[in-house]
Copies of this chain bind each other. A is one copy, B any other.
Amino acid sequence: MADTAEFIKDLCTPAFVVDLDVAKRNAAVMLDRFQKLGVQLRPHMKTHKTLECADIMTGGSRRCIVVSTLAEASFYADHGYDDVLYAYPLPRDKVQRCAELCERMALFHVLLDNGPALQELKRRPLKQAREISETTGVELYGIYAHCGNTYGCKGREQIEAIAQETTTNLLQFMERYAVPVHSPLGTNFPNFCNSSIGSTPSCSHPVPDMAMLSEVHPGNYVFYDVQQSLIGSCRLEDVAVRVLTRVIGHYPHRNQLLVDSGWAALSQDGGGCLPTGYAVIQGHPELKLTSMTQEHGRVEPVSGPLDFGQFPLGSMFSLIPYHACATAMMYPVYSVHSQGKIVSTWKPVRGW
C-alpha cells in the first residue's frame, strides 16, 4: 500500500505522520540535557520501534538503547545496534532467545524481578542482590526503575517531587549496596555501577540529584503527545506526531461528522478522557471526537450546532493523539515530513 503522495495533505487517510523537525528537536534537547548532567541517555525504542528514529535518538551512535520486546532487540541487532537493554522482567519462555542475542551483541542486558520490586528492596535492600551474587554465571550490573508514577502528575513541581523521591531511593540503595554492612558482598561485584531511572516526565524535568545516576531511559519524548502535555512534560507544540483523517460523512440529524479514523487508526488508550474526546483536533478546540468504531470516528461540537459548511466532505483534520506510543503501534508505516513535505517513510517492527 505504498502511498506516493509528495505532501502530507495528499496522503490517503488515516495516516500517521511524524514532523521530522520537531522529533529531531525533542531528541536533541534530551541528548543535550543529559550530556550536560554527565548522565548517559539510554533512549527507549518502544514508542516508535523504527531504525530511523533510533538513529535520531542515539545521535547516530547506534549504541545504548532500551527495548520492550525481543522483536525490537533482534531488529536493532540486525542493524548493527549494540548495548541493548531488554527492559522486561526476564520471561522464562524467552531465555534461549536472550542467550542468542547475548552472542550477537557485545552488551545485551536483561532485568531480573522475581517478586520483590523497589518497595521490597527498600525493606530488604540486600536480599535480592545477594541471591543474584550467589548465582554462578550471573553478575548484578545495576538497578533500573521506571518511576511510571510520574504519569499521575500535573505540572513540573509534582514531576520533580517524584523524580527526586525515585532518585533518592535509588541512590540510597546504591550506597547501602556499595558499602555493605555485612561483607563479603561488597567485593563480589566490580561491575555493579549502574543506576537508571526512566519516564519521559522525570527526564523532561530532571532534578539536580539525577546527575548522580549513571543512566536515564525515557522514550516517549521523541514524539511526545497530549498526555505528556497535560502531565507537564512538554508543550502541545512539542508533539511531533499527528493522525490525519478526512470527513467522510455529514449527519445533520445527529449534529455529527463522520471521519475515517476509528480505533484501528487511533488508540483508545486514555478512553476519551479529554474535553475533546479521544484526541485534540488541531485548530478546532470547538470539536470533539466523541466515539469510534473500527474504521469510523464521530465528531461533534463540544456544544451548540455544527456548521457543516465549514467541514465539506473530504476536508482533513489533524488529530494530536492522547498517547503516541499506543497510536503509533496501530500503523505499519509512518509518513515523515518536514513542513508538510514528505521526506521519508519509517517502518516499525511488530510482534514480540
Contact = CB atoms under 8 A, between A and B. Distances in A.
B258 A89 contact: yes
Copies of the protein in its oligomer: 2
A12 B93 CA distance: 6
Nearest to A47: B294
Interface in A25-65: 46
B294 A46 contact: yes
Interface stretch (A125-133, A157-165, A185-193, A324-332): A324-332
B91 A1 contact: no
A326 B93 contact: no
A314 B92 CA distance: 6
A246 B295 contact: no
A202 interface: no
Interface string A281-300: 00000000000011100000
A84 B134 CA distance: 64
Given A1-B71, A351-B1, A93 B264 contact: no
A89 B248 contact: yes
A120 to B, nearest CB: 7
B115 A250 contact: yes
Interface string A73-92: 01000000000000011011
A168 to B, nearest CB: 20
Contacts of A246: 91-93
Contacts of A182: none
Interface string A109-132: 000011101011000000000000
Contacts of A114: 249-250, 313
A215 interface: no
Interface in A255-270: 258, 260, 263-265, 267-269
Nearest first, the 8 A-B pairs at minimum CB distance are: A92-B314, A332-B350, A115-B250, A1-B351, A332-B351, A89-B248, A1-B71, A91-B248
